[in-house]
Amino acid sequence: MLRYALLGFLNYQPLTGYELKQFMDSSTSFFWYAKLSQVYTTLKSLESEGLLDSRVEAQAERPDRRVYSLNERGAEELRSWLARAMTELEPQKNTFLLRLFFSGESEKENLLAQLHLMRQLHQEQLEVYTHQSPEVIRQTAARSPGLARHAMLWEATRRFGEMYEEMFTRWLEETIEVVHKNFT
Amino acid sequence: MLRYALLGFLNYQPLTGYELKQFMDSSTSFFWYAKLSQVYTTLKSLESEGLLDSRVEAQAERPDRRVYSLNERGAEELRSWLARAMTELEPQKNTFLLRLFFSGESEKENLLAQLHLMRQLHQEQLEVYTHQSPEVIRQTAARSPGLARHAMLWEATRRFGEMYEEMFTRWLEETIEVVHKNFT
DNA sequence: CGCACCATGTAATGCGTTACATGATTTT
DNA sequence: AAAATCATGTAACGCATTACATGGTGCG
């Protein structure tokens, strides 16, 4: 799947593996992320499949950079992936819910401490979506007027993150209340 | 991670691989699931690590069943996993958001069709959490009075599913509206 | 002086999926 | 007569993580 994320970013402009990782970290990271090592290996395999081209740029007093760019076959692969609509819900995994599900024999205090810690973390994440992300989107979109329709969709994903964290925080408060009152 | 899910279920009672898969499908599947083949291989490796015991039950006119049970070391492993609190948010992946993020050059109609389809799917899933899941929990808890505190936490995870799908549906409606009005 | 950042990659391992293989019983 | 359920597993593959390996620049 990382393949498509990389094709998507390279559809905007040629980039190195290192830069791709940075772009991901500052935009899609809350719904798609990867380690640098995976970015490098995936770029290599995309190039060997003929979906990307690369050239090495020599730099004075810095390591050489390998810049990847999307070629026509890569652009076609991206379009065809986007055209294939999803017809089923994607199964999700959530370790925190798994733990909670099996915590019936845990100490009440440990359970409450874990729930409070999670609330803290989700509130912080909510702050990121409400305060930092809008700025990132505005700045990126400002660099080119052709990106207006893209920015609308970036904003939609940001809004998802915001609503998700709002919901998560509300659920944690509700759950803390229930555990506090009824857990023996 | 599946290891811990299996240890968790086996903490209630001895089960076969096939039964474990069924239990997962009817309870944790929205935040943890696995294929049968993985269940079997993971059980085997848990046994070889000495966390589970198994015995084969011969059956007349049915294939033999291998029943796994948690031993003291397995119970300890489960407890120690539950005791190690999470201190960071778990990164999530969501293919639908990834596609949306890169759909700036897609046809408006295709995009709206995809959003409508997703709304349909999430509304159906919401129905499952509000109508089917409470019954499953009530019935399972009714089988043994010692499961009351467990049932409280099962209910908390169900409630998460309900709130998640509610939120997702609201977000889809908001996004459909935005795309409908502003996407060219 | 040490840490963060820039920059690239390989190797080993682990977790999970898909495909393969078998076969009886029960339900439609 | 066909499909679903019960029941078990192995083999091949793919995606992702962790660890290893290197080395210069800039900042506090």
Provide the residue type at B78 as one letter: L
The Å distance, CA of B132 to C1' of C27, is: 24
Q: Could you tell me which residues come within 8 angstroms of residue B21 by beta carbon, excluding any fewer than 6 positions away?
A: B34, B36, B39
Q: Could you tell me which residues come within 8 angstroms of residue A36 by beta carbon, excluding any fewer than 6 positions away?
A: A17, A18, A21
Residues of B within 8 A of A5 (CB-CB) are: 98, 102
Q: What pLDDT shows up at residue B62? A: 67
State the best of A94, A165, A169 to mutate against chain B, taking most chain B CBs within 10 Å. Answer: A94
Q: Work out the average pLDDT over B111-122.
A: 97
What proportion of chain B, given as a percentage, has pLDDT over 70? Answer: 98
Q: Which two tokens stand for residue A34?
A: 């990867």
Return positions of chain D under 7 A from a protein CB.
6-11, 15-20, 23-25
A92 Cα distance to chain centroid: 14
SS3 state at A90: coil
Q: What pLDDT shows up at residue B144? A: 80
SS3 state at B96: helix
A110-139 tens-digit pLDDT: 999 999 999 999 999 999 999 999 998 998
- What residues form DSSP beta bridges with B66? B56
Count of residues making up chain A: 184
- Res. A180: pLDDT tops 80: yes
Q: What pLDDT shows up at residue B142? A: 87
Tell me the residue ranges of DSSP E strands in B13-119: 15-16, 52-57, 65-70
More confident residue, B142 or B127: B127
What proportion of chain B, given as a percentage, has pLDDT over 90? Answer: 88
The Å distance, CA of B60 to C1' of C23, is: 14
Per-residue CA distances from A69 to A43, A115, B130 (Å)? 10, 45, 48
Residues 66-95 of B with CB under 7 A from strand D: 66, 91
SS3 state at A67: strand
- Res. A60: pLDDT tops 80: no
- Evaluate if the CB of A17 falls below 7 Å from strand C: yes
CB B4 within 8 A of CB B18: no
Q: Work out the average pLDDT over A39-48.
A: 96
Residues of A within 8 A of B184 (CB-CB) are: 149
Count of residues making up chain B: 184
- Evaluate if the CB of B42 falls below 7 Å from strand D: no
Q: What pLDDT shows up at residue A64? A: 79
The Å distance, CA of A39 to C1' of C11, is: 16
B33-69 tens-digit pLDDT: 999 999 999 999 999 999 999 999 877 666 778 999 9
Q: What pLDDT shows up at residue B58? A: 74
- Res. A61: pLDDT tops 80: no
A62-116 tens-digit pLDDT: 677 899 999 999 999 999 999 999 999 999 999 999 999 999 999 999 999 999 9
B141-173 tens-digit pLDDT: 888 888 989 999 999 999 999 999 999 999 999
